[in-house]
Amino acid sequence: MTRQQTYEDVLRTLSEGSVHTHFDAFTDIDWDNPDWAVDKKDPRWVLPEADPLGRHPWYRDLPVERQAEIGLIRMANVARVGMQFENVLIRGAMDYLFNLPNGRAEFRYLTHECTEETHHTQMFQEFVNRSGCDVPGGRPAFRVVSRFLPLAGSLWPEVFFTGVLAGEEPIDHIQKAILRSGGPAHPLLQRIMQIHVAEEARHISFAHEFLRTKTPRLGAFRRGLLSLAFPLVMRALGDVIAIPDKRVTRQMGVPRRVIREIFWKSPEGRKMLRDLFSDVRMLAEDSGLMNPVSRRIWKALRIDGRPSRFRGEPPALSA
């Protein structure tokens, strides 16, 4: 079986998965359950240690009510960033599909994905609205650049889907860590994360397969440029997703020194940064995007390290 046949088989499987297992933002979340109501002092908003801020000593030393208030603001802003990122993804994917030739397997799968991502934007924004937190989401520079990022969907789709992974992988990594921790969590947030992780598994699989299939077909010059752009895009968009905007930091009342330690000055922060990108390092190796020059960029950006042995390998095993 050729690589193209394998790719098309994977896309058919992903499309069938979207038909048989999918979620609706307003029928699969019990928004009006009294036990799921949002109260900023509810101790279930206290961030678990799986969250990088939640395990910092400064946060752990705060009174429980203050921890809950900060936890709710943080989760609301993560949801707002997620909504903004999914919005960019939908626009870029549709730009890619607009002139796609008839008969291409990507059309059906990506329209399924855009449908799911639309429900995610509704789900995230509804959570933000109910939280009562007026959070901005991504940094101002990201909100400006996001007007133009979708054009990469048709102009350079390999870079666009690299950017898709740069946003999806960090959110997926952190949400999986929180769910795996098994600690007490607000049921509304837990349900949102469960839905997001379940459907993002397909979206991440597609982006991996797309790049693994398309990259080797690029000319040497274009592939060389992509090898250099790959770690730069990963780090830039990964920071947008992971690091809170200054306005949110002020809302939470978190000292800047704490944010700097978490992202990414402390030894634990540097390890987390490397762990966020272990799966895409594996993809870069598999796709021929690791070379002597690009490896120096990965290292300079502090996102180098051993690639995952398989997708979704827990950090404890990849340390």
137-195 pLDDT, tens digit each: 999 999 999 999 999 999 999 999 999 999 999 888 888 888 888 777 899 999 999 99
What pLDDT score does 317 carry? 46
C-alpha to C-alpha distance for 265 and 183, rounded to whole angstroms? 27
pLDDT confidence of residue 149? 93
pLDDT tens string 72-95: 999 999 999 999 999 999 999 999
- Distance (Å) of CA 142 to CA 72, 136, 147, 156, 252: 23, 11, 9, 19, 21
DSSP conformation class of 306: P
What is the average pLDDT value for the chain, to the nearest integer?
A: 93
CA 300 to chain centre: 22
For residue 82, what are the contacts with CB-CB under 8 A and spacing of at least 6?
120, 124, 171, 196
Question: Is the separation of the CB atoms in 160 and 210 below 8 Å?
Answer: no
- Give dist(CA 66, CA 252) in Å, integer: 9
CATH number of 3-18+39-318: 1.10.620.20
| pTM as predicted | 0.93
Give mean pLDDT, residues 116-143.
96
Give the pair of three-digit tokens for residue 292: 């002597």
pLDDT tens, 33-76?
Answer: 999 999 999 999 999 988 999 999 999 999 999 999 999 999 99
Q: What pLDDT, in 10s, does the model give residues 94-119?
A: 999 999 999 999 999 999 999 999 99
pLDDT of residue 173: 86
Domain ranges of the chain: 3-18+39-318
Task: For residue range 252-262, list pLDDT tens digits in order.
Answer: 999 999 999 99
